[in-house]
Structure 1
Amino acid sequence: MKLSAITKRNIGRIIPFGIIWLVSGALFLWVEHAALGGKANNLESAIKLDAGVLTFALTGITFIGILVGFIELVYLNRLFEKQRFLVKIISKFLIYAAFFFVVILITFPIAASMELKTSILNQRVWNRYGTFFFSITNASTMIQLSFQLLTSLLYAEISENLGQNILLNFFTGKYHKPVAETRIFMFADMKNSTFIAEQLGHIQYFELLKAYYFDLSDAIVKNRGEVYQYIGDEIVISWKIKNGINKNNCIHCFFDMKSDLLKRKENYLEKYKVFPDFKAGLHFGEVTTGEIGALKKEIFFTGDVLNTTARIQGLCNAYGVDLLVSKNLILRLEFGDEYSVKTLGKPQLKGKIDAYDLVTVSLA
């Protein structure tokens, strides 16, 4: 069964939690072993490590990390979405602390029974647990888990704010040196945004923008797009040329965004008394991509294609359409009966020497 783009993205966001927990867990175990000088641990409260116990411990730690990632992304992230950063961290930490207490209650007796080579129901196993609970070993375990948990939560927040692909690119240094690549860009601009802002006021308009961008996100992920920038009421979406052309993702994305907004039209009208619609321009070309900034780093695209796409989007009102696409891009796509394409002309774009054939695409 082929996984959807959203499922692949979620898996890609959860796996780093497992890696964080595995690496930090292995590091803590190594530090403890080194601190003992390679000798067997003579604390009665501690589990003596052998190959079986070590494998169980690292497997369990990785599984817990993945489970934390799943809970974080599927449940807690949405539950605390509107809370401040500090409230998020403290609240989540307390929830996970209770969760870990239950996990240790389950896993320690299993490890103790493996070491003692006896049944988990044996009284010696539970005597060992009682000794462990009030020991320095338990305190050490709590410190380790707290460190791993805080690292996971900070990763989740940074990833959420920067975007996982951006964070990954920073870690791998992919764009530390500028590289040239061909990309597709969509500039999607909210219609009548000035009127809506005046009608709602600054605070409520900001809340509408948050809801609007949130409601567009699933369509972008599903069609393998990447959010490059939010510029006021405009969102800039980018695709690597292969991802954007495959299955006409860049065109599908526009109509999926429209569809997702329409599904929530009644909610917008009920809460804000307005419905935010948008128009968009699409074009592709070569850009130079790299890290830029002194006080604040970001992955930056530079090239004529961005300016051209913005100009194309700016002509939507003149042609009375919601979508304008350069013919150069249309020629790279393969349409079946799903869409109809209408040629609109070859206008001179503002500030450009070259003219571009423009078309609009609609559902057939």
Structure 2
Amino acid sequence: MRLRPKIKVQLFLVLGITLFWIGSGAFMAFYKCVNYIPATNEFAFIVPNHLSFIQFLLINIIGPAVGGFIGGSILVFYLSESLRRKSYWYYMLINFLFFIGFILFLNTLVPYIFYYREEIANAERPLRKALDLLILSPYAIRNVVTWLIIAWMTIQGLNIYEKYTPSTLISLFLGRFHRPHEVERIFMFLDLSNSTSIAEKLGHIKFFDLLKDFFSDMTDPILNSQGEVYQYVGDEIVIYWPVKRSVIKHMQPIACFFRIEKSIQDRSEYYLKEYEIIPLFKAAIHKGHVVVGEMGAIKREIVFSGDILNTTSRLMEQCSIFKQKLIISNEVAELIPKDKKQKYVLLHLGEMALRGKMNKCHLYGVDLKDQKLNV
């Protein structure tokens, strides 16, 4: 079974969260074993609960491994999805309440199973003993507070991921953007049609809400098409793809446009009810080489620079002239595999002169042959 790109990304996140929690549990195991002895004014390595260090380490890894996988799955697959359109503070509150309950459960279950089961069972008042050992003891409280901090770091890490995609984050950590270098990319510029008249009709606040919904509904189509968002410019979004086999084989940039179109169509009732319009949009796709690197001193950003960006912007302007919703360049048209060409209708629109270059860019309008076709 072939997993959708979005599911792969989500599984990657769950794996990252699980490994982070395992690492945190291992660190805490070492930390708990280091004790300060006031009488001798020295530090001693003492393993709690009369266990060997290997046993203690495994216990402190098993709990976080299970917790990271289950908690991370709920956070990534459910909470982040369902709370995407909510305010930041509401998002943080619901996640915090979830992790309080989840961590309290884990921090009572794991110590009970591995440390205190016999002691609680043999106590005169088992419930009171369990409460003292598992919830009210300084050790238990410290554990809960520590894991709540780790949970908060997990949520913030997810927020950072949503700003920087995995490939960008890895490249940032490895310093690949410190010095500019040339790469080959496919870019799509997508713009909301009639945005000026819509803004006048709705007002600025309502129009901003429309844009938030509009861009939010693009998230799944972009992820499922292996695309990455470069930037938002007013009512325009810029998406890019690396030129690699999996992208070309499924012609993901073109498929992305029609997936976005279907996503908006599926939400048409919501848009009509909320804004009294169904958003229409146009887009252009072009391929070429760009220079990528970090730009700025105070607010650093990853920036692409090159003629391809200007050309793609000009291609999108041609959508209004030729009455097309999607225009691609001949560089992109030549990449379409033979088995994918049967899905699309390509209409040659003519040529467009490129500034400072002898060669002209051929334009093609693109549409689906069958509107019910699954892309």
TM-score by length of 2: 0.87
Which of these residues, 347, 353, 363, is aligned with residue 348 of structure 1? 353
Give the structure 1 partner of residue 74 of structure 2: 71
**Structure 2 counterpart of 1:253, which letter?**
C
Give the structure 1 partner of residue 218 of structure 2: 216
Give the structure 1 partner of residue 19 of structure 2: 19
Q: Is residue 139 from structure 1 mapped to residue 141 from structure 2 by the alignment?
A: yes
Choose 194-203 or 22-31, whichever is displaced more.
22-31
Judging changes above 3 Å, is the alpha-carbon distance between structure 1 residues 35 and 121 closer, same or farther for their aligned structure 2 residues? closer
Task: Tell me the SS of whatever aligns to 1:35.
Answer: strand
The separation in 2 between residues aligned to 1:335 and 1:188, in whole angstroms, is: 26
- Shift of residue 291, structure 1, vs aligned partner: 1.7
- Shift of residue 49, structure 1, vs aligned partner: 4.8
Task: Tell me the SS of whatever aligns to 2:277.
Answer: coil
- Shift of residue 352, structure 1, vs aligned partner: 6.0
Give the structure 2 partner of residue 2 of structure 1: 2
- Shift of residue 233, structure 1, vs aligned partner: 0.8
- Shift of residue 22, structure 1, vs aligned partner: 1.7
Task: Tell me the SS of whatever aligns to 1:315.
Answer: helix
Query: In the alignment, is the contact (CA less than 8 A) between 2:26 and 2:60 conserved in 1?
Result: no
Give unmatched runs, 5+ long, in structure 1. none
Query: In the alignment, is the contact (CA less than 8 A) between 1:25 and 1:144 conserved in 2?
Result: no
Which of these residues, 303, 325, 331, is aligned with residue 322 of structure 1? 325
Query: In the alignment, is the contact (CA less than 8 A) between 2:103 and 2:148 conserved in 1?
Result: no
The separation in 2 between residues aligned to 1:47 and 1:258, in whole angstroms, is: 62
Choose 141-150 or 217-226, whichever is displaced more.
141-150
- Shift of residue 205, structure 1, vs aligned partner: 0.5
- Shift of residue 247, structure 1, vs aligned partner: 1.1
- Shift of residue 294, structure 1, vs aligned partner: 1.1
The separation in 1 between residues aligned to 2:333 and 2:23, in whole angstroms, is: 47
Judging changes above 3 Å, is the alpha-carbon distance between structure 1 residues 349 and 198 closer, same or farther for their aligned structure 2 residues? farther
The separation in 1 between residues aligned to 2:80 and 2:100, in whole angstroms, is: 17
Choose 345-354 or 30-39, whichever is displaced more.
345-354
Task: Tell me the SS of whatever aligns to 2:282.
Answer: strand
Q: Is residue 38 from structure 1 mapped to residue 45 from structure 2 by the alignment?
A: yes
The separation in 1 between residues aligned to 2:88 and 2:207, in whole angstroms, is: 22
**Structure 2 counterpart of 1:24, which letter?**
S
Give unmatched runs, 5+ long, in structure 2. 37-43, 370-375
Q: Is residue 248 from structure 1 mapped to residue 251 from structure 2 by the alignment?
A: yes
Choose 353-362 or 280-289, whichever is displaced more.
353-362
Q: Is residue 181 from structure 1 mapped to residue 183 from structure 2 by the alignment?
A: yes
Task: Tell me the SS of whatever aligns to 1:346.
Answer: strand
What RMSD, in angstroms, separates the aligned Cα atoms of the two structures?
2.5
The separation in 2 between residues aligned to 1:282 and 1:158, in whole angstroms, is: 28
Judging changes above 3 Å, is the alpha-carbon distance between structure 1 residues 164 and 317 closer, same or farther for their aligned structure 2 residues? same
Task: Tell me the SS of whatever aligns to 2:279.
Answer: coil
Judging changes above 3 Å, is the alpha-carbon distance between structure 1 residues 210 and 352 closer, same or farther for their aligned structure 2 residues? farther
Q: Is residue 310 from structure 1 mapped to residue 313 from structure 2 by the alignment?
A: yes
The separation in 1 between residues aligned to 2:111 and 2:309, in whole angstroms, is: 57
**Structure 2 counterpart of 1:132, which letter?**
L
Judging changes above 3 Å, is the alpha-carbon distance between structure 1 residues 80 and 215 closer, same or farther for their aligned structure 2 residues? closer
**Structure 1 counterpart of 2:105, which letter?**
V
Task: Tell me the SS of whatever aligns to 1:314.
Answer: helix
**Structure 1 counterpart of 2:10, which letter?**
N
Q: Deviations over 1:67-97 (max 9, x none)?
A: 2222222332245445543443344223311
Judging changes above 3 Å, is the alpha-carbon distance between structure 1 residues 318 and 275 closer, same or farther for their aligned structure 2 residues? same
The separation in 1 between residues aligned to 2:210 and 2:197, in whole angstroms, is: 13
Query: In the alignment, is the contact (CA less than 8 A) between 2:287 and 2:308 conserved in 1?
Result: yes
**Structure 2 counterpart of 1:29, which letter?**
A
The separation in 1 between residues aligned to 2:179 and 2:354, in whole angstroms, is: 32
The separation in 2 between residues aligned to 1:316 and 1:335, in whole angstroms, is: 25
Task: Tell me the SS of whatever aligns to 2:188.
Answer: strand
Give the structure 2 partner of residue 123 of structure 1: 122
Q: Is residue 361 from structure 1 mapped to residue 362 from structure 2 by the alignment?
A: no
- Shift of residue 129, structure 1, vs aligned partner: 4.1
The separation in 1 between residues aligned to 2:50 and 2:289, in whole angstroms, is: 58
The separation in 2 between residues aligned to 1:197 and 1:135, in whole angstroms, is: 58
Query: In the alignment, is the contact (CA less than 8 A) between 2:189 and 2:316 conserved in 1?
Result: yes
The separation in 2 between residues aligned to 1:352 and 1:92, in whole angstroms, is: 54
Which of these residues, 158, 161, 185, is aligned with residue 159 of structure 1? 161
Equivalences, count: 356
- Shift of residue 163, structure 1, vs aligned partner: 4.0
**Structure 1 counterpart of 2:204, which letter?**
H
Query: In the alignment, is the contact (CA less than 8 A) between 1:47 and 1:112 conserved in 2?
Result: no
- Shift of residue 63, structure 1, vs aligned partner: 2.1
Choose 309-318 or 351-360, whichever is displaced more.
351-360
Give the structure 2 partner of residue 60 of structure 1: 63
Give the structure 1 partner of residue 228 of structure 2: 226
Q: Deviations over 1:208-253 (max 9, x none)?
A: 1111111111111111111111111111110001143121111111
Judging changes above 3 Å, is the alpha-carbon distance between structure 1 residues 47 and 168 closer, same or farther for their aligned structure 2 residues? farther
The separation in 2 between residues aligned to 1:307 and 1:15, in whole angstroms, is: 39
